[in-house]
Structure 1
């Protein structure tokens, strides 16, 4: 098939952005939220380090007193006391740090969830749901390792490391110089490897996010996947992403595996140096045997913290990779309540409820890029299945991604009227409702609500005026009552039952003894498509808004229920303004005004009879639906 279309010429023109990176400075605020506990941990670390460092000195003193036949009982009991004290302090310190680590994960998740749920709608259009879920779950979990595997050992071990260095310098500077040389080389190697670990960890978290998105898509569409005979293809695609995540994990394991033996090699080389050179210095009388034993014990205390520190570097590097993805979301701007909070916004009672004035709209660049990427993936799947015509249609849709969605749209929705938007798919009808709800703001022109520019109105106040029923009629997992009370948490059971019966859902209450508290299943799977749509309309009606926005509200209903739904809407429309989108012209032929959209432009306005006479596109739509 041909590949000369403009959309295909753009394939691969945008490179995948490099994964976000975080710095240690960005990690510290998460930790310092619990500074009181960290102060206690620091004090315990000092006490534990003192108890640990005292042990080699006491052992050396015991060895020095043995030839003299001195009483060692008291000294040994003191040594035992320091050993027990160091163990108890270490255990309690680890408990505090693990508890704090759990608190850090909780606080980071709380901040991340709060930010995600307040992001602009454009971010949800540009990002995959599974990836956002992965950031809340998997990425935040890695912060726990910073405290439990990193800071838990690093703080106390740093004190022991410094104390051991000082003690070793006092015992024999020559031996210490040789040890520092060996350790310096090992530290340099670990620092170089940690950069590779951080990069690979960031890549791994991105892959895990993609995997979560793929699983979420496949599971959420499992009935369609099964019915299409695509189970094996979906399983292969998800497994492929899991394989990529596995490959990156193996790379991290390989680099980490180089870090762990470095401490062991450093210990063995240092021990050989101390035994060889130290033995020679004892023989020459430069130091005593008790001092050499004490030096060796300090050497073990020096190397053990070094190994833990190397492990901490690995944990911190992985956490910084995950933190980069967390920070990417936390640094995104949230949806503001109003762009002009100080502006006067007094409504004009004589103005139209909704008015579009030369409105133009184009999706933000990052949303366009995301849609192009999704279209590219879909096209690749279709081409792989040899569905060339469908692939060409997707390519054409990708080619349209860069164009303006609305191009100078103007119309009025008078108070108390019923206005319908009709037109072919892709005409911009749903975009109109998104702009009214201020999920997006127009890139040109203005939208007036009661005569006031919508951008001057607080978003929460503005949205409280609307009852919005989306095209997909989403149903939340939970009960019927949970869904109804989403926008009206104070509604009584009687009020809930009233709106359900108004939209012909009384039988749903009667078929389950739990009534309003009957579960609807994940995404409303226990309800039919029409029932889910009517439940969404009932939810909007329960809030009793002055304006109803209905996007394809009857698209999933059969003829009988469609008629009953129209009657229910007629009943609640009294005293309200309705802006309705429908493909079935039979549901809107009696509207006060019908606005015909085509490729982002208004091509006709009027009543059904007027449009049949004046607008070719509407006449063609009506003819296909046997209305003329």
Structure 2
């Protein structure tokens, strides 16, 4: 998927992102939020009483009366307000961290359950960015606004009411300034959301660019392309920088607004209030109380304005998060069959299967038009008998690996039926389906971690002895002797501490450890020398007894003993038979055999 199309998709998702989309993240913490709100209300009450007490103190001082316990009560209320504020801050920050934690868990689950085709068109670095930086913005919703704004609203209303009682004229002047600031922030907040979304998207692009280079760092270094790649990442960094500057520019208008409103209101109240005190309209005590209430009103207003900003930034992040969490997942909701009982002699069968990648269409970025994508497989029909060995051969791009991907249900056919033990694979839960299939991919991936962790990926209950035995079966026991850590020795990022052949054998050992009824090997001996290939073939022969084996062949030695060889060309079957039969009946196979099937 192009950047342009990703942006378009995000934009469409963004149009539906509203405050209600934040509520599910907050609902799980309603008890803590309610407690924080109660503390906010109590703090608001304690704050509102203080100007009234100050009014009483000034009045008694002017009248020459004793202050009594007023000063003590005022001091207690000041301390109480501080304590309540501290407790509220802790609860909100703790809840904010919990919200981010829950959002990340949900997002990771959604990402790992995306259909394989989504990983074909999305960039890994961008997905990682959504888990990291996008979810972090949810923290600000709680710590920089919402509950503070809710509690502050009570202070605002209380202060407003008290100011109305003290002097309606000065209140009207004050509200005129406040109204201008609120309208201004409301208008700018929409730009904040758009700018924040663009900033997060740019950060995602940067993450994708860095991930791309790091995944091929050895190739980059060997090609002397380090500086060129740095320049490319610099351009992505500048894009993120410029998007961040746009957010900063808008924020630069929003942040001072509350301060300007407060200063303007204070100057107006001070000037008009001084005149009204001089004229005897209000007392000095009332003016002081009014000013204190003014400060109390402006403070919550700042919280409300801050909440508007933080919520709109979070909504920008929610747009990107929801783009993943609302995407279709690899689901078995409509599947009822958990266990597969053989209902035919064929372990695997393809019936008129046609398949094309890209949801049947691809976008031509230059013309802006959509065109049907070319099918990878066309009308494919064959059977693999239970307990037999089938080899699939053909030139590069013939569709060999796609056959195995359809059997694993990484994709579903555009038309036709794939059956396992006579049952349509669409009717079997993916968990049950994949538990009966061992799959060794063409690139033989090894995950960062230890040797033992890689082996137990498919059999988490395997014992150390079982792990060592399966490593010996693929001639990898010597690898354990390199480190006193044994099975706990690290294999490095992407298995970099192992050779290509060792990575391939470790991937095969991982599959053999589970010993499933069906084994799928995608050119699994391509990186092995002749000695290790013989040892591995012996291991596969031993483990595949009474099991069904489907192998994409790379070498002639892998093919000659197969019970059935399927020859593919351009997504179509051009020959089926044994090695000796195909040498006489299928010209393509003859040519492949002449070149040791290295095409």
Class of the TM-score when normalised by the shorter of the 2 chains: over 0.9
- 2:442 counterpart SS class: coil
Change (3 A) 1:317 1:577: same
- 1:198 counterpart SS class: helix
Q: CA shift at 1:345, angstroms?
A: 6.1
Q: How does 1:288-299 map to 2 (within 5 A)?
A: 288-299=283-294
Tell me if structure 2 keeps the 8 A contact 1:360–1:445.
yes
Corresponding residue for 2:62?
A: 67
Q: How does 1:156-555 map to 2 (within 5 A)?
A: 156-337=151-332, 339-341=334-336, 346-348=341-343, 350-365=344-359, 368=362, 402-555=373-526
- 1:268 counterpart SS class: helix
Work out whether 1:145 is the aligned partner of 2:137. Answer: no
Work out whether 1:614 is the aligned partner of 2:582. Answer: no
Q: CA shift at 1:559, angstroms?
A: 2.1
Work out whether 1:105 is the aligned partner of 2:100. Answer: yes
Tell me if structure 1 keeps the 8 A contact 2:404–2:520.
yes
- 1:591 counterpart SS class: coil
- Deviations 1:446-484 (Å, cap 9, x if unpaired)? 011111111111211111111100111111111111111
Q: CA shift at 1:418, angstroms?
A: 0.9
Tell me if structure 2 keeps the 8 A contact 1:93–1:152.
no
How high is the TM-score relative to the length of structure 1? 0.90
Question: Which consecutive residues of structure 2, in runs of 5 or more, have no partner in the other structure?
Answer: none
Tell me if structure 1 keeps the 8 A contact 2:129–2:204.
yes
Q: CA shift at 1:506, angstroms?
A: 1.3
Distance 1:352 1:149 in 2: 63
Tell me if structure 2 keeps the 8 A contact 1:352–1:450.
yes
Change (3 A) 1:267 1:197: same
Corresponding residue for 1:47?
A: 42
Corresponding residue for 1:576?
A: 547
Q: CA shift at 1:277, angstroms?
A: 2.0
- Deviations 1:288-333 (Å, cap 9, x if unpaired)? 2211111111111111221232222111111111111112222122
Distance 2:533 2:283 in 1: 99
Change (3 A) 1:566 1:448: same
- 1:495 counterpart SS class: helix
Distance 1:44 1:367 in 2: 57
Question: Which consecutive residues of structure 1, in runs of 5 or more, have no partner in the other structure?
Answer: 1-9, 377-394
Tell me if structure 1 keeps the 8 A contact 2:10–2:320.
no
Q: CA shift at 1:523, angstroms?
A: 1.0
Distance 1:82 1:347 in 2: 78
Corresponding residue for 2:572?
A: 601
Work out whether 1:562 is the aligned partner of 2:533. Answer: yes
- 2:140 counterpart SS class: helix
Work out whether 1:17 is the aligned partner of 2:9. Answer: yes
- 2:491 counterpart SS class: coil
Q: CA shift at 1:286, angstroms?
A: 2.0
Q: Which moved more, 1:398-407 or 1:216-225?
A: 398-407
Distance 2:194 2:567 in 1: 52
Change (3 A) 1:495 1:280: same
Distance 1:324 1:347 in 2: 46
Distance 1:570 1:29 in 2: 54
Q: CA shift at 1:124, angstroms?
A: 1.6
Distance 2:181 2:440 in 1: 63
Number of residue pairs aligned between Structure 1 and Structure 2: 593
Q: CA shift at 1:12, angstroms?
A: 8.0
Tell me if structure 1 keeps the 8 A contact 2:358–2:373.
no
Distance 2:87 2:162 in 1: 27
Q: CA shift at 1:366, angstroms?
A: 9.1
Q: Which moved more, 1:50-59 or 1:280-289?
A: 280-289
Work out whether 1:82 is the aligned partner of 2:77. Answer: yes
Distance 2:115 2:5 in 1: 26
User: Over aligned residues, Cα RMSD in angstroms?
Assistant: 2.3
Tell me if structure 2 keeps the 8 A contact 1:359–1:446.
yes
Tell me if structure 2 keeps the 8 A contact 1:421–1:580.
yes
Distance 1:62 1:623 in 2: 106
- Deviations 1:514-543 (Å, cap 9, x if unpaired)? 221211111111111110110010010000
How high is the TM-score relative to the length of structure 2? 0.95
Corresponding residue for 1:390?
A: none
Distance 1:444 1:357 in 2: 9
Distance 1:124 1:585 in 2: 33
